[in-house]
Amino acid sequence: MSSSKHYDALETRSPAEREAQLMAALPRQVAHAQRHAPAMAQILAGVDAAAVDSRQALARLPVTRKHELLERQKAGRAADPFGGFAAQVRGPAMLRIFASPGPIYEPDGAARDYWRTARAMHAAGFCAGDLVHNAFSYHMTPGAFIMEAGAHALGCTVFPAGTGQTEQQLQAIAELRPRAYAGTPSFLRILLEKAAETGADAGSLRVALTGGEALPPSLRDWFAERGLQVFQSYATADLGLIAYETEARQGLVLDEGVIVEIVRPGTGEPVPEGEVGEVVVTTLNPDYPLIRFGTGDLSAVLPGACPSGRTNIRIRGWLGRADQTTKIRGMFVHPAQVADIARRFPEVLKARLVVSGEMANDTMTLKVEAVGPQPVLQGLQARLGEAIRDVTKLRGEVLLLQPGSLPNDGKVIEDARSYK
């Protein structure tokens, strides 16, 4: 393990100090995005950057989701492959350009540890002088470089293994004796199973930082039985590190370079602490200044502080996808439409559209948690039914429920149809 428990003093700031410093940096980042990223200037047109100095003010700004970023990139590709979201131009300030499925193009800045993954590696037990076997792909996508930049920032040496060629990778592990692994957990398991089958020596591996897939406790325990401590990271090509696992194994601690909100899917409205919603991130990266970027991932804030001594907010990890757009009777229904219906009635606390039956013969029921005097609630059902028709152009039933009746899983639209 590293000689220092924490990567830097930022991790142990008081929550009040961290929040004050993040909120002081926020208006500067908004102003920077308006000046240097044309797409963000359009999205934030008319916004007074100096006034965006609180989470309440941030929550009033629009959320930009990945499909919108892709649409802007496609529309403006002839002039700018990044669609106006990048604040840097090619040359010394932009080392590489990557392509993620879409394709969405992402810039790689020249800053040391551009994606800030050294913090996650440190928490996983990576040390200066370690050799890191990096099994993320080096082909077009940024995954390998996200990890490599963090490893170099920690003072590690990297073997660029990439993906596939299992036998050659095992030979390199046996001969180079790396202590650390970076890559997906599923490929790490393939390597270890193949080593056991062929007698290859993979025993030098002691720590791993994984990403790109879920790491269920059963698989983490499987690795531990073989002497390997494996940790999760949550990062994206757009945002860099968002959160990381510590030795406490209690959720993921947020990175120090991002401001994270959990919002109701299809909206930009923050949910109460502990409720599942979409992860929306504002990055303080000056090269790619994304403000309120919707990841499309579901998670929830965990109460309390991490037992590791890190004081930042924790989230539960990946809990599914937020885009629950569903086709009903030939019409697409979006989470934002469900939110629009609920927003029209102050009595409604929470709403969930359940689609049931069989394909081509389906029914939809809006389940609503509502509060208020009985006379108001008596008329609410009919008014909600009218709103469903108005917003979705479809007919649906309405079921009123007591507060707390709906599951806390982030679902706004539940597709419960039979596909037999």
Per residue in 14-50, pLDDT (tens digit) is: 999 999 999 999 999 999 999 999 999 999 999 999 9
Q: Answer yes or no: do 103 and 145 share one domain.
A: yes
What single string gives the DSSP state of each residue in 305-329? --TTS--S-EE-----BS---EEET
pLDDT-derived band of residue 11, with 50, 70 and 90 as boundaries? very high
Q: Is residue 109 part of a domain?
A: yes
Structural domain contains residue 162: yes
Query: What CATH code is carried by the domain that includes residue 381?
Result: 3.30.300.30
Cα 296 from chain centroid (whole Å): 7
Distance CA 310, CA 291 (A): 25
Q: What is the pLDDT of residues 266-322, one digit of tens each?
A: 889 999 999 999 999 999 999 999 999 999 899 999 999 999 999 999 999 888 888
Three-state SS at 134 = strand
The predicted-structure confidence for 150-181, as pLDDT tens digits, reads as follows 999 999 999 999 998 999 999 999 999 999 99
Percent of the chain at pLDDT exceeding 70: 98
d(C-alpha 243, C-alpha 256), whole Å: 9
Claim to verify: residue 284 and residue 312 sit in the same structural domain: yes
Residues 101 and 212 in one domain: yes
Residue 1 maps to a domain: no
Q: DSSP for 37-88?
A: -HHHHHHTTT--GGG--SHHHHTTSPPEEHHHHHHHHHHHTTT-TTTT--S-
* Residue 119 and residue 183 in one domain: yes
Position 2 confidence tier, pLDDT thresholds 50, 70, 90: very low
End-to-end CA distance of the chain: 52
Q: Is residue 120 located within the same domain as residue 13?
A: yes
Q: Which of 3-7, 55-59, 370-374 has the highest mean pLDDT?
A: 55-59
* Helix H or strand E encompassing 243: strand 240-244
**pLDDT tens profile 208-230:** 999 988 888 999 999 999 999 99
Residue ranges making up the domain that contains 410:
326-415
Which of 297, 320, 343 terminates a domain? The answer is 320
Residue ending a domain, among 320, 340, 361, is: 320
Model confidence band, residue 400 (pLDDT cutoffs 50, 70, 90): very high
Task: Using the 3D structure, point to which of 279, 297, 320 is the last residue of a domain.
Answer: 320
pLDDT of 1 reads 42
- Please give the average per-residue pLDDT across 189-208, as a whole number: 97
One domain for residues 77 and 147: yes
Residue 89 has pLDDT above 80, yes or no: no
Q: Are residues 299 and 331 in the same domain?
A: no
pLDDT mean across residues, the chain = 93
276 assigned to some structural domain: yes
Residue among 400, 328, 341 nearest 371 (CA): 400
**Contacts of 82 by beta carbon, 8 Å cutoff, 6+ apart:** 73, 105, 106, 107
Question: What distance in Å separates the CA atoms of residue 49 and residue 69, rounded to the nearest whole number?
Answer: 21
Q: Does residue 163 form part of some domain?
A: yes
407 inside domain:
yes
Confidence category of residue 131, pLDDT binned at 50, 70, 90: very high
Same domain, 78 and 160: yes
Verify that 81 and 60 share a domain, yes or no.
yes
Position 241 scores a pLDDT of 98
- Return the percentage of the chain with pLDDT > 90, whole number: 79
- pLDDT given at position 419: 55
Same domain? For 343 and 296 the reply is: no
Q: Is the pLDDT of residue 411 over 80?
A: yes
d(CA 256, CA 163) in angstroms, rounded, equals 30
- 256: Cα separation from own chain's centroid: 15
- Report the alpha-carbon distance of residue 149 to residue 121 in Å, rounded: 11
Kindly state whether residues 114 and 219 are assigned to the same domain: yes
Q: Residue 370 CB: number of other CB atoms within 10 A? A: 22
- What pLDDT, on the 0 to 100 scale, is given for residue 321? 82
For residue 133, report the phi and psi dihedrals to the nearest 5 degrees: -85, 105
Domain CATH code at residue 37? 3.40.50.12780
Residue 4, pLDDT > 50, answer yes
In a domain, 83, yes or no: yes
Total domains present in the chain: 2
In a domain, 4, yes or no: no
pLDDT on residue 394: 87
Q: Residues 280, 337: one domain?
A: no
Q: Of 172, 171, 220, nearest to 199 (Cα)?
A: 171
| Between residues 361 and 133, the one the model is more confident about | 133
* Token pair for 251: 């959720």
Q: What is the reported pTM?
A: 0.86
